[in-house]
Amino acid sequence: MKEIKKYSRYIITISIIVSFVFLFTKCIDKEKEKTVSAPPTTKVNFDEFAGSDACISCHKNIYNKHILTAHYLTTRPALEKYIKGSFEPGKNKYVYDSNMTVMMEKRDSGFFQVGYYQGIERITKRFDIIFGSASKGQTYATRFKNRIYQLPVSYFTAAKQWANSPQFPTHPVIFNRPITSRCLECHSTFAQKISAPGVEPEEFNRDHIIYGVDCEKCHGPAAKHVAFQTQNPTDTVGKYIINPAKFTREQKLDLCGLCHGGRLQKTTASFQFTAGDKLTDYFNIDQTPPNPDSIDVHGNQFGLLRASKCFKMSTTMTCITCHNTHENERGQTALFSQRCMSCHNDQTAHTCKMTATIGNAIKQDCINCHMPLKSSNSITELIAGQKNPTAAMIRSHFIAIYPDETKKIMTTIISHTKKNKH
């Protein structure tokens, strides 16, 4: 009883503070993204999805590898096993200034970001949804009624510590930057928006969300496929399901370009694009090639690749020429280099001019010289005590000759060979 009373007092205090903070920061956080128009009926509906757990019984191998990919992990419910940052005393705080500290706290009912002003607890928000596999970092969202808000403290993998969320102010500390349907469209498989077009912050059905870039993002909603194959176990031809292997080059590129094509301006409601569709039916796309030095948002892999000689001079290259999206292949440089050599080998005569200089070792790494890491402009996080945010490093998909990178790498190769000779 005492507990409950305490709890409700607590809730009231928090609500007062929350509404205060909301009022305070509302003007700062006007969302720019506006829905232009929504189709009269929804083309894609929640009940057409089966969820990837429904695929296990028949596609176990793919499923088991898929759950280790950045795609699957890119949004998850806030379970301990998925949150990368530490809740241990000493490691669980982000100090904004002498007055304001946010502590990451594990309590009986979950994980919380707790704002303390001069040591007094002022605002408490639960971690509800995790964004990010943490290859670069994670940011966290909390639910408030049917809305979803990004929290002020993120996890920054390069520094292995908590950091201020990208592009968040440090004064005031805000707990209410809305997560938009476009955020979710790139980081989840489906979320059902229930607020009218143009109403901000947007509202979502709490139960109708499919986390992660899951099977059905690339294969289309599959409830019908699951039902059919279950009822017809001897049928060995997959029915009611999309296989991107059968797509044209444009369709393949459009599927990946939905989320890897930079800032697209949507012209219909989110989540209506389905694998196989034409991206230009849903978005206005800026066709001017991006400046290779502007690597975002967060990484415009499609735009940069399209600007590369490699892509322009080949008639077949798509993202899946180099990426097997069912597997986590991060960091496997030699494997990726083999995929370069499927086109650049002695038979095609398109070999690297450095081959003679470097010798056999060249086969291990085409990547660092021709697709160097560059600083992100949008994934930048402020570490406590530093003046300027640190940028995450992103792999450039502008495949080209970078003399400076070559110099750096040649120096390490030469010093390596010298060491081996002694």
- Binders in 386-405 for ligand HEC, by CB under 6 A: 394-395, 397, 399-401
Spatial CA neighbour of 200 closest among 26, 39, 19? 26
Q: Answer yes or no whether residue 323 interacts with ligand HEC by CB under 6 A.
A: yes
- Least distance to ligand HEC from the beta carbon of 225, Å? 5
Establish if 382 lies at the interface with ligand HEC (CB under 6 A): no
Indicate whether 340 belongs to the interface with ligand HEC (CB under 6 A): yes
Stretch touching ligand HEC by CB under 6 A, among 115-123, 168-176, 202-210, 360-368? 360-368
Regarding 354 and contact with ligand HEC (CB under 6 A), the answer is: yes
Residue given tokens 């892509």 in the structure block? 311
* Identity of residue 300: N
Contact 163, 155 (CB under 8 A): yes
Nearest to ligand HEC of 17, 400 (CB atom) = 400
Residue 193 touching ligand HEC (CB under 6 A):
no
367 binds ligand HEC (CB under 6 A): yes
Q: Does residue 353 touch ligand HEC according to CB under 6 A?
A: yes
Complete DSSP assignment for 130-141? EE--SSSEEEEE
Tell me the three state secondary structure of residue 208: strand
- Comparing CA positions, the residue from 12, 21, 20, 377 lying closest to residue 177 is 21
C-beta closer to ligand HEC: residue 17 or 341: 341
**Among positions 366, 372, 381, 382, the unique one binding ligand HEC when judged by CB under 6 A:** 366
How far is it, in rounded angstroms, from Cα 220 to Cα 274?
6
- The torsion angles phi and psi of 392, rounded to 5 degrees, stand at -75, 155
**Alpha-carbon distance values, 312 to 264, 299, 308 (Å):** 22, 20, 6
Q: What is the DSSP letter of 360?
A: G
Of the candidate spans 37-45, 191-199, 281-289, 316-324, the one that interacts with ligand HEC by CB under 6 A turns out to be 316-324
Amino acid found at 9: R
Q: Does 251 bind ligand HEC (CB under 6 A)?
A: no
**Two structure tokens written together for 169:** 């102010």
Q: Does 46 bind ligand HEC (CB under 6 A)?
A: no
- Do the beta carbons of residue 40 and residue 100 sit within 8 Å? no
Total site size for ligand HEC, rule CB under 6 A: 103
Q: Which of 147, 206, 224, 350 binds ligand HEC (CB under 6 A)?
A: 350
Residues between 169 and 188 that touch ligand HEC (CB under 6 A): 182-183, 186-187
Segment contacting ligand HEC by CB under 6 A, of 1-9, 82-90, 91-99, 131-139:
131-139
- Among the listed residues 124, 150, 176, 192, the single contact to ligand HEC using CB under 6 A: 150
The correct pick among 153, 173, 210, 222 for binding ligand HEC (CB under 6 A) is 222
Rg (the chain; Cα; Å) = 24
Q: Nearer Cβ to ligand HEC, position 31 or 80?
A: 31
Nearer Cβ to ligand HEC (109/236): 236
For residues 233, 239, 242, 243, the Cα torsion angle rounded to the nearest 10 degrees is: 60
Hunting for tokens 């569709």 — which residue is that? 277
Q: Does 305 bind ligand HEC (CB under 6 A)?
A: yes
Among 55, 100, 173, 209, binds ligand HEC (CB under 6 A): 55
297 upstream amide cis, omega within 30 of 0:
yes
Q: What angle do CA 397, 52, 141 make, to 5 degrees?
A: 65
369 lies in the binding site for ligand HEC (CB under 6 A): yes
Unique residue bearing structure tokens 């660092």: 368
